Amino acid sequence: MNVDAFDLLATAVLLLSSEGRVEYANAAAEDIFGRSRKQLTGSRAAGLFEESDDIQDAIGQAQARRFVDRRQLVTLYRGHDFFQVAATIVALTDQRWPVLMEVREIEQRVLADRNQRLVDEIETQRELLRNLAHEVKNPLGGLRGAAQLLEAELPDPALTEYTQVIISEADRLQSLVDRLATPQRAPIHTRAVNIHEICERVCALIRAEYGRDISLLRDYDASVPDIQADAERLIQSLLNVVRNAAQALTQPQVTAGAQITLRTRVARQVMLAHRQHRMALVVAVIDNGPGVPEPLRERIFHPLVTGRADGTGLGLSLAQDFVQQHGGIIEFESRPGHTEFRLVLPMEPA
């Protein structure tokens, strides 16, 4: 194998030893990892990525010839920034190196198109639900009024228990309908906001609600500057995401050791709403729960979609709406033991 040819490629190439350590890195690898070949050589390849256990497992399977090649989306860090990349692990035969790894940054346009489809789908869902809510509102009011009139005419006061059930359920449905029919489209009021103050506010609220049942960890980048944002809506968005993680961690099937991490980072050259942003703030909410159920993953931000019997399915939808009002997006990735929701917000004014 002529390794000199790899320097002509625009994608990063690593050749790994049987121990999974880097023995060769091409010029593109120096760029994407932000390290020299000398620094890369001898390092543990899996340790270059956030999902180190997954990568190490894939390397082991490649050496065992359980597959020819495998492609997966992973995250790598470069300084204080992180990037989602596509890593392809290839099993080599009759070569000095048993495994080749190719790493390439995901095309921003692909991510932008995927996010825009999500925005369009959610807006269509919201419009349908708003129309449905308006249709349901008047019959609900009539139902409640009839129950009140019936209650006044009942000969036995003990029977009011049943009319009270009707009234209370009508009120509950009315509240849900109001939340669906009234989009939060009032103008946002922006000011300079310290994201870490918002994170601490949310942590205090979650701690008050869940006590010692959940361990809250912080991984803040102290160099993140203030951003222009509507503080109240940003608090509500982050609170909804963190509360969603906390609710997943307090399900009966979850064992001890429930943990949520709030992480802040700055990402560069991010495409949001078909606009390239020089810098974006990324607030990640990471939990070690069971993960988002597979059937819900494509619809997790749609209104009324929930995996809990007592859930309304409005928390994440509202959080996504508020972040989109700031010109951002909420993304997520999930597997058992690691779920990460990322609030991505532009740092320069829209």
Nearest one of 165, 162, 185, 163 to 173, comparing CA atoms:
165
As a whole number of angstroms, the distance between CA 136 and CA 160 comes to: 25
- Tell me the backbone φ, ψ of residue 257, rounded to 5 degrees: 95, 25
Residue 209: the pLDDT is 86
* Residue found by looking up tokens 């009324």 in the block: 304
As a whole number of angstroms, the distance between CA 104 and CA 239 comes to: 34
Residue 54: the pLDDT is 87
* Residue found by looking up tokens 């070949």 in the block: 37
Residue 65: the pLDDT is 82
3-state secondary structure of 70: strand
Residue 25: the pLDDT is 93
Assign a CATH topology to domain 191-346.
Heat Shock Protein 90 (3.30.565)
Alpha helices in 64-211 (DSSP H): 108-153, 160-181, 195-210
Nearest one of 52, 8, 50, 44 to 27, comparing CA atoms:
8
Assign a CATH topology to domain 3-106.
Beta-Lactamase (3.30.450)
Residue 196: the pLDDT is 96
As a whole number of angstroms, the distance between CA 195 and CA 283 comes to: 8
Residue 116: the pLDDT is 63
Q: How far is residue 202 CA from its own chain's centroid?
A: 17
One-letter amino acid of 225: P
Domain ranges for the chain, please list them.
3-106, 126-181, 191-346
3-state secondary structure of 325: helix
Is-above-0.75 flag for pTM? no
Residue 192 burial (C-beta neighbours within 10 Å; 0-12, 13-18, 19+):
exposed
As a whole number of angstroms, the distance between CA 34 and CA 280 comes to: 19
Enumerate residue ranges in the chain where pLDDT < 50: none
As a whole number of angstroms, the distance between CA 217 and CA 132 comes to: 41
